[in-house]
Amino acid sequence: MPKASFFAQGVSMLSTVFAGTIIAISFAAPPGPVAMETIRRGLRGGFHPALRVQLGSIIGDLAWCAAALIGLAPLAQIAIIRTLIGIIGVVLLLYFGAIGIRDALRQSSLNLGAGGGEKKGAFRAGAAMALANPMAVGYWVSVGGIMISKGIIDSGMSQTGAFIAGFIAGMILWAVAMAAIVRFGKRLVNPLAFRAITFVCGAAMLFFGFALASQMISAIL
C-alpha cells in the first residue's frame, strides 16, 4: 500500500474514532435519569457506586449503538415496541424517584464509608435505565442516518470498528469523569445539602417519569 494511501486511511480512521467519541459524550452529557442516579448513589457511597451506574448505562447505550449500526433502531419506532419500552422506562423512573425521595426523608448524614450498600444494584440500575430510555430510540435513529450518510456503516469493518472504539472510549471517559466529579463534590456537601440534593434527584426522576407517561398518553390519544 502506498504511503500516501496508508496515511489517508489512518487519518480517516482517527476522524471516525473522534466522531464516535464526540457522539458518545454528546449522548451521555445532558442531565437525565442516569445522571440523577449517579449523583444520588455517589453522594451516599462515593466513587465506585457512581461509576457502576455509569458503566451500567454504557451497556444500554452500546445496545442502542449496535442496533443503529446493524439497522435495527427503526424497529423501535414501531408503536407497540416503543410503547413497551416507554412503560418500562416510566416504571423504572418512578421506582428510582421514589427511592430518592425516601432516602432524602430518612437519611440524616452522609455515608463516608466505602458505600458497599450503594454498590449493590448500581450497575443494573444504570443498564436498565439506559435500555429502557425511549429517548434513545429517536437519538440512535438519527445517528444511524448520520453514520450511513457519512459512509461509516458501508465502508467496512475497519471504519465501523473505529467508530465503536471511539464511542466506547467516549462513554468510559464520561463515566469516570462523572463519578470523579460526584466523589470530590461529596467533600463539599454537608448533611442538610446532601438530603436536599438527594430529594431533588428523586423529584427529578419522578418528573421524568410523569413527563414520559404524559407523552405516551398524548401519543396514544
* Tens of pLDDT, residues 18-31: 888 888 887 777 77
Count of Cβ atoms closer than 10 Å to residue 220 Cβ: 9
pLDDT of residue 51: 92
Checking if the pLDDT of 173 tops 90, the result is yes
Query: Which residue range is the domain that position 79 belongs to?
Result: 3-220
- What is residue 73's predicted lDDT score, i.e. its pLDDT? 59
Q: What is the pLDDT of residue 155?
A: 56
CA 199/CA 214 separation, integer angstroms: 22
pLDDT value of position 177: 92
Phi, psi for residue 133 in degrees, rounded to 5:
-90, 100
Q: Please count the structural domains in the chain.
A: 1
Residue 28 confidence (pLDDT):
79
Average pLDDT score over residue span 153-163: 68
Residue 112 scores a pLDDT above 90: no
pLDDT of residue 154: 52
Give yes or no for residue 117 having a pLDDT over 60: no
Give Cβ neighbours of residue 66 (< 8 Å, ≥ 6 apart). none
Mean pLDDT, the chain, rounded, equals 77
Give pLDDT, residue 43.
84
Least-confidence region, from 79-83, 88-92, 135-139: 135-139
Instruction: Give, as one character, the DSSP assignment of residue 206.
Output: H
d(CA 174, CA 168): 10
Percent of the chain with pLDDT over 90: 9
Nearest by Cα to 136 from 24, 15, 211, 17: 24
Query: How long, in residues, is the chain?
Result: 221
Q: Which residues contact 206 (CB under 8 A, 6 or more apart)?
A: 93, 94, 97, 98, 101
* Cα first-last separation, the chain: 60
Cell numbers 410523569 correspond to 210
Please write the tens of the pLDDT for every residue from 32-76. 888 888 988 888 888 899 999 999 998 888 887 777 767 665 666
| Residue 83, pLDDT score | 80
Give the C-alpha separation, 202 to 207, whole Å: 9
Alpha-carbon distance of 127 to 124, in angstroms, equals 5
pLDDT of amino acid 193: 79
Q: What is the distance between the alpha carbons of residues 157 and 148, in angstroms, rounded to a whole number? A: 14
Averaged pLDDT for residues 129-148 = 68
**Ramachandran quadrant class, 127 (left: phi over 0; alpha: psi -120 to 50; beta: rest):** alpha
